[in-house]
Amino acid sequence: MMTAATPTAERRVNRVEAYVEPAAAAPHGRVWEASKGVLIAILAFVYMVPVIVLILTSFKTQVQVMSKTPTWIFMPTLMNYHTVLMEQGFLRYMTNSLIVGLVSTLFTLVVGGCASYALVRFNFMGKGAISLGTLLLRMIPPAVLVVPIYVLWTFFGLSDTLVGLIIIYVGLNLPFTIWVLISFISDIPLELEEAAVVDGCGPWRIFFRIILPLIKPGLAAAAIFTFRISWNEFILALVLTNRMTRTLPVATTIYLTDTGIEWGNITAMGTLVALPAIIFTFLAAKQLISGLTAGAIKG
């Protein structure tokens, strides 16, 4: 591909020079600033309201949910949460989701960390193919995998087990994790490792004692994204689990019928499913943004 910077830069200079007349009415007045503030406030409102509706509804009685005019101020009730948590199996589904999320995150980080270290620091045969393959695998839609995975997992006795779900989630998350960690490991100065080699450290010791502690921010970002995928994933969990191994997103959809939806209960479940994500978002917004932009801004 051509270099993006040079031609654009030239074009830009030419075009700017072509404008000899002074700029028209400057939009950067006080009115502009004020309307900008109003627009942003409206946007924030549009983004807050649905989430607030979800959480508020989960604390409403059935009568309040059914009312034609939405109520914003009311006496909150925990009845929906009580119903949902007492519901048969719900606590089990929650435990399943936690186990699958945590175990798959841990495995993804260790396995992905090793692979990214090798891809950054070592030269070996097939390195290019592995990097490229990882990038392509990141794009595969779960819907492409759902049929063959269902067939294979049934064949291997992995379907309806948590282990089966964990294995596929590690696989789904590895490409992104490797992508993020590579950029963090590349930033570590090589001298550190060279000094460790002089001191007689082997590659594994270097990796676990020097590299891993240094890329903690990268690991944190990757961990949140991995946990989020494993916790949120729906379609594979839907076909790979049964009554015992179901995860929360799958359990939630079971209560969505065509008619007579108990919105109080559903929104309570939805709030519980969304809770980790909301907590992570407020705790680590910065890391999340660096994770979202990884690979797109840095290249």
Q: Report the Cα–Cα distance between both ends of the chain, in Å, rounded.
A: 15
Options 61-69, 74-82, 88-96, 212-220: segment touching another protein (CB under 8 A): 61-69
* Residue 148-167 contact track with another protein, rule CB under 8 A, x = bound: xxxxx--x-----------x
Options 75-83, 85-93, 121-129, 212-220: segment touching another protein (CB under 8 A): 121-129
Torsion angle defined by CA atoms of residues 180, 186, 187 and 189, in that order, rounded to the nearest 10 degrees = 150
- The correct pick among 157, 194, 216, 243 for binding another protein (CB under 8 A) is 194
Lookup result for tokens 């075009």: 15
Asked if 68 touches another protein (CB under 8 A), the answer is yes
Chain Cα centroid distance, residue 232: 9
Residues 258-287 that bind another protein (CB under 8 A): 261, 263, 266-267, 270, 273-274, 277-278, 280-282, 285
99 versus 203: smaller Cβ distance to another protein? 203
- The correct pick among 42, 91, 197, 244 for binding another protein (CB under 8 A) is 197
Options 22-30, 77-85, 86-94, 213-221: segment touching another protein (CB under 8 A): 22-30
92 versus 121: smaller Cβ distance to another protein? 121
Determine the size of the site formed for another protein (CB under 8 A): 116
* Minimum CB–partner distance for residue 33 and another protein (Å): 9
Asked if 81 touches another protein (CB under 8 A), the answer is no
Contact residues for 192 (Cβ-Cβ < 8 A; gap 6+): 210, 214
Residue 25 phi, psi (nearest 5): -40, 120
Asked if 31 touches another protein (CB under 8 A), the answer is no
CA 41 – CA 48 distance, rounded (Å): 10
- The correct pick among 31, 73, 128, 141 for binding another protein (CB under 8 A) is 141
Q: Which residue, among 190, 174, 177, has the nearest Cα to 122 in the 3D structure?
A: 190
Q: Any alpha helices (H) in 122-234, and if so which ranges?
A: 127-137, 142-155, 162-186, 190-198, 203-205, 212-214, 216-232
Asked if 246 touches another protein (CB under 8 A), the answer is no
CA 291 – CA 106 distance, rounded (Å): 17
Lookup result for tokens 């031609």: 7
Asked if 136 touches another protein (CB under 8 A), the answer is yes
Asked if 42 touches another protein (CB under 8 A), the answer is no
* Minimum CB–partner distance for residue 95 and another protein (Å): 17
Lookup result for tokens 């209560």: 255
Asked if 134 touches another protein (CB under 8 A), the answer is yes
CA-based angle 238:244:248, to the nearest 5? 50
